[in-house]
């Protein structure tokens, strides 16, 4: 376990960094795909962006985590759901131009009227990439006795097929049957913060079911990410810890 923790620490230190305006660098990791190098840039919380095949893909851009006037314009923006830590109209506007495609769930349309709505289970093609909308919702954790923090049907996770590489960004969800039924996922981002999404045990349960090659816990708040590392220590899933509180 000590060796694995040291490896994880080394991964953090060796991660690249992406420029984000004067004096600001965000860490990044790179992966080889059949479409070229995929760079994943870690902003914070549930916010990321990707570079691949000359395109920029922003995930849940939010201005509290970065100055979006200093970030690259988006070819594609994916918004998982309507909560303010995932949907920020000002950040979207800062990285959008006439060619930008914005994809979201129907619950986002009040704040993203130009968005292309994908319902749970939909699939579409954009810029040579396949996008699948995966249901994102609570099973256990509730705001009240009959009100989940994330009701079924309001939010999406997204699977992006980038050539021969499949990346899953789960959004705010628990370990749903739809998540656990996913196939051939290379890289996964799974949320791990209470009371809104998953415990480390729930993340481990999902990861064992669909078995991503690389797993990033994200949107994890004050959750101890070391618990997840321990829970998956007997698997060949590579758990990478980045600063995505």
Q: Which residue has the higher pLDDT, 195 or 103?
A: 103
Which of the 8 DSSP states describes residue 205? H
Sketch the domain layout of the chain as residue ranges. Answer: 2-239
Instruction: Provide CB contacts within 8 A for 206, sequence distance 6+.
Output: 175, 179, 180, 190, 198
Residues of the chain above pLDDT 90, percent: 80
* Chain segment 89-114, per-residue pLDDT in tens: 999 999 999 999 999 999 999 999 99
Give Rg (Cα) of the chain: 17
Q: Give the pLDDT band (50/70/90) at residue 24.
A: low
> Which three-class secondary structure state does DSSP give residue 35?
coil
For position 36, what pLDDT does the model report?
97
Q: Name all contacts of 56-64 with Cβ < 8 Å and 24+ positions apart.
A: 57/129, 57/160, 58/95, 59/158, 59/169, 60/85, 60/86, 60/87, 60/171, 61/88, 61/91, 61/92, 61/94, 61/95, 62/86, 62/87, 62/88, 62/91, 63/88, 63/90, 63/91, 63/94, 64/88
Per the CB < 8 A criterion, the answer to whether 47 and 64 are in contact is no
Q: May I ask the CATH architecture of the domain 2-239? A: 4-Layer Sandwich (3.60)
């Amino acid at each position: 376990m000590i060796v694995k923790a040291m490896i994880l620490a080394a991964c953090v230190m060796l991660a690249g960094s992406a420029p984000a305006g004067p004096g600001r660098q965000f860490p990044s990791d790179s992966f080889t795909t059949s479409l070229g190098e995929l760079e994943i840039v870690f902003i914070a919380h549930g916010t990321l962006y990707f570079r691949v095949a000359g395109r920029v893909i922003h995930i849940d851009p939010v201005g509290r985590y970065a100055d979006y006037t200093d970030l690259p314009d988006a070819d594609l923006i994916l918004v998982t759901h309507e909560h303010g830590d995932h949907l920020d109209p000002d950040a979207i506007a800062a990285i959008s131009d006439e060619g930008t495609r914005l994809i979201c769930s129907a619950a986002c349309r009040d704040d993203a009227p130009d968005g292309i709505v994908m319902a749970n289970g939909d699939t579409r093609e954009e810029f040579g990439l396949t996008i699948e909308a995966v249901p994102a919702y609570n099973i256990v954790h509730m705001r009240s006795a009959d009100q989940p923090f994330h009701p079924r049907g309001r939010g999406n996770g997204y699977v992006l097929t980038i050539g021969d590489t499949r990346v899953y960004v789960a959004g705010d969800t628990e370990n749903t049957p739809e998540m656990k039924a996913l196939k051939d996922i290379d890289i996964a981002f799974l949320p791990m913060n209470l009371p809104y999404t998953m415990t480390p045990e729930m993340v481990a349960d999902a990861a064992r079911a669909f078995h991503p090659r690389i797993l990033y816990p994200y949107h994890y708040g004050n959750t101890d990410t070391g618990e997840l590392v321990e829970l998956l220590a007997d698997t060949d899933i590579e758990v990478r810890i980045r600063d995505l509180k």
